[in-house]
Amino acid sequence: MTDLVIAPLLVALATAVLSLFVRPFERLRAGVSLAGVAAYAVVVAALASEVLAGGTMTYQVGDWPAPFGITLVADGLSAFMLALTALVAVPTAIAGLRQVSERAQRVAYHPLFFFMLVGVSGAFLTGDVFNLFVWFEVLLMSSYVLVVIYGDPETTGATLRYVALNLVGSALMLVSIGGLYAVLGTLNMADMSRRLAGNAGVEPAAVVPALGLSAILFAVFALKAGVVPFHFWVPEVYRAAPTPVTAMLAGVVKKVGVYAMIRLVFTVFGGAAIDVSLPGVTGDALGFYGPVLFALAVASVALGGVGAVGRDDLPGLLAYSSISQVGFILLPVAIAATAGESVQVLALTAALVYALNHAVAKSMLFLVVGVIEDAVETVDMRSLGGIAGNAPGLGAAFFVGSLALVGIPPLSGFFGKLLIFDAAVQADALLALAAALGGAIFTIAYTSRAWNRAFWGDAPLSVEGMAPDRVVVGIVLLMAGALVVIGVGFDPVYRFAEAGAHAALDRQGYVDAVRFANATATGGGH
Amino acid sequence: MTQTVLALVLGALFALGTYLVLRRDVVRVVWGVVVMSQAANLYLVTMGGLSGSVPVLEGHGFEGLTDPLVQALVLTAIVISFGTTALALVLTYRVYQGHGTISMEELGAEVEP
């Protein structure tokens, strides 16, 4: 059943190609999109259950043995991220049918949506660094066109900056990958991991230059994740893109950056035998990345929170909020990198649970904003008000999503925050605790501000006559329900996230699962 | 010798790319990004080892070989940068059509509400 590993990729790719041909036919292309995304969810669910039951699965593309060919690896972490993707992609695809203009749907929206899904799935599944670059490019290129799909002057300027920034990022990523290949002699992540750890039969590689080169890679991942100080593109792009696209960007594409950071720091460099002797930094590669992650996370939480409080438009507020929330995801990752092994699993579990919560809640909030934009034709809070009274469904969904971001029981966000605080306390990371607490207060401030100004109060005429799209309102209510269900039936979600955390930390398991062609071929010589 | 020359060329290309990216003119920025990604490609080729030793075979008794892997990687990277460059140039044109300017500063001024 190892073919299942490549199934999410193939399903998304086949749907993307098929939807190229059915673009002119409105019903047919909607049917293809819905069937494709449903099939994607089904194969992801099958893959996830298989991985949870039977452990890590690998697929050698073209039957080339590792480390010479490209290896796809589906472990607990990949499976968790794929499940998160499917959970966001299904409602977003349905909402896209209603919220994206007919012309954009006819031109390119559907194939691009699925090509982006191909890129995301590939990035989560690949076990090869250069292949990761290729999947990044696939998803970025689709996202460029998806952001600019309406082609009006407001979006072209924002997209041009987004494209230029990411092209520089891609060039840097290539530089880093080339350097890593020259130093380590391999691009396979499992092979890199065991060479860095200096395992038996493999020569200990030049770890210090590899670590320095990986820092460039890390910066590129941080750019994709939109954490401070690489956050400046986020508000502009999120505002320019059509809302279903923003929902995917904020819900899923950001998490690709977070996932890649976790993979790089823990799976590839987790066991690197190195003595770092910089001021304030001691120990191994994790000791090197821990403080960096911590600084990025705290800065993101703080700056994102402050930015969100000061915004008057709903998309801008949500965009700054996602900068802050990615900080919340990285905070436990930083704790996991610095704290002892006993806290590592708990901290990474917290990060994954929070990533899931943010993905569902934030993409739902962006869809709500999309409905408001279509029905009222403004998203400026100064000219909104009383939406909760005039569109109770929208109000309820926004309310639940806000509470999930704040972390009120029994929603999924509560457990995310609880686990983060738990990990911070157990690791004695008082600074992290303070940052999380301060960030939570900011979250309460900006969500209640949005609620008070847009959803309560006197409704202007435009809001009183609003006719929200019933289908999308139904979808956002279902997503709000999902947030409640994840919170109430939290145990299986927790176990899934814990399996993901174990997979991220189990370097030996990852290396073993890749099954190199000949254990001595790369080290012992013929 | 080759190494020194290539190192200097790479340095010059990255410097030129960085300089262009920091210009106000959008077209120059796109040019800068193109120069940078080509510099990255060239850098990637050099990472295969110029002295005839291949990282993947080092210490295995193979001498005087050039690494074919980096060339395959560069081919992929070139195709990707070709596509993105085309997109960036089209975008530049659309930006000029929509805004009547190609100055990054004037474009930036329009974004903030």
Write the single-letter amino acid at A43.
V
**Is residue A337 domain-resident?**
yes
Residue in A closest to B45 by C-alpha: A178
DSSP designation for A199: -
pLDDT of residue B106: 79
**B111 with A312: Cβ contact below 8 A:** no
Q: Domain count of chain A? A: 1
Q: A314-338 and A254-262 are packed helices; what angle lies between their axes, rounded to 10 degrees?
A: 10
pLDDT of residue A409: 86
Q: Average pLDDT for residues B56-79, to the nearest whole number? A: 79
**Is residue A161 domain-resident?**
no
Residue in A closest to B53 by C-alpha: A182
Query: Residue B58: pLDDT above 70?
Result: no
Q: How distant is the Cα of A355 from the closest Cα of chain B, in angstroms?
A: 29
Q: Where are the alpha helices (DSSP H) in A278-408?
A: 285-309, 314-338, 341-376, 387-390, 392-406
**Is residue A6 domain-resident?**
no
pLDDT of residue A521: 42
**A525 with B99: Cβ contact below 8 A:** no
Under 8 Å CB-to-CB from A94, ≥6 apart: which residues?
Answer: A34, A37, A471, A472, A475
Other C-beta atoms closer than 10 Å to the C-beta of A106 total 14
**Is residue A338 domain-resident?**
yes
User: A525: which chain B residues are within 8 Å (Cβ-Cβ)?
Assistant: 59-61
CA A165 to chain centre: 19
Q: How distant is the Cα of B103 from the closest Cα of chain A, in angstroms?
A: 10
Nearest to A160 among B60, B95, B110 (CB): B95
Q: Domain count of chain B? A: 1
Under 8 Å CB-to-CB from A157, ≥6 apart: which residues?
Answer: B95, B98, B99, B107, B108, B110, B111
pLDDT of residue B103: 84
Residue in A closest to B93 by C-alpha: A156
User: A524: which chain B residues are within 8 Å (Cβ-Cβ)?
Assistant: none
Range of the domain at B87: 2-111
Range of the domain at A376: 276-488
User: A152: which chain B residues are within 8 Å (Cβ-Cβ)?
Assistant: 98
Residue from A277, A288, A126, A123 nearest A214 by CA: A288
**B84 with A170: Cβ contact below 8 A:** yes
**Is residue A326 domain-resident?**
yes
pLDDT of residue B56: 67
**Is residue A466 domain-resident?**
yes
pLDDT of residue A406: 93
- Domain of B62, CATH number, reads 1.10.287.3510
Q: What ipTM, to 2 d.p.?
A: 0.89
Q: Average pLDDT for residues B6-30, to the nearest whole number? A: 94
**B88 with A185: Cβ contact below 8 A:** no
pLDDT of residue A286: 77
Cα Rg for chain B, rounded, in angstroms?
A: 19
The answer to whether the Cα torsion of A79, A84, A89, A94 is positive or negative is positive
**Is residue A175 domain-resident?**
no
Q: How distant is the Cα of B40 from the closest Cα of chain A, in angstroms?
A: 6
pLDDT of residue A196: 85
At B51, the pLDDT band (50, 70, 90 cuts) reads: low
Q: What is the pLDDT along chain A (526 residues), one digit of tens a residue?
A: 688 999 999 999 999 999 999 999 999 999 999 999 999 999 999 999 999 998 899 999 888 888 888 999 999 999 999 999 999 999 999 999 999 999 999 989 999 999 999 999 999 999 999 999 999 999 999 999 999 999 888 889 889 989 999 999 999 999 999 999 988 888 999 989 888 887 656 666 678 888 889 999 999 999 999 998 999 899 999 999 999 999 999 999 999 999 999 999 999 988 776 665 555 555 677 778 888 999 999 999 999 999 999 999 999 999 999 999 999 999 999 999 888 788 999 999 999 999 999 999 999 999 999 999 999 988 898 889 889 989 999 999 999 999 999 999 889 999 999 999 999 999 888 899 999 999 999 999 999 999 999 998 888 888 888 889 999 999 999 999 999 999 999 999 999 999 999 999 998 899 999 888 754 444 333 3
**Is residue A224 domain-resident?**
no
* Distance separating alpha carbons of residues B46 and B13, to the nearest angstrom: 14
pLDDT of residue A523: 39
**B37 with A171: Cβ contact below 8 A:** yes
**A160 with B60: Cβ contact below 8 A:** no
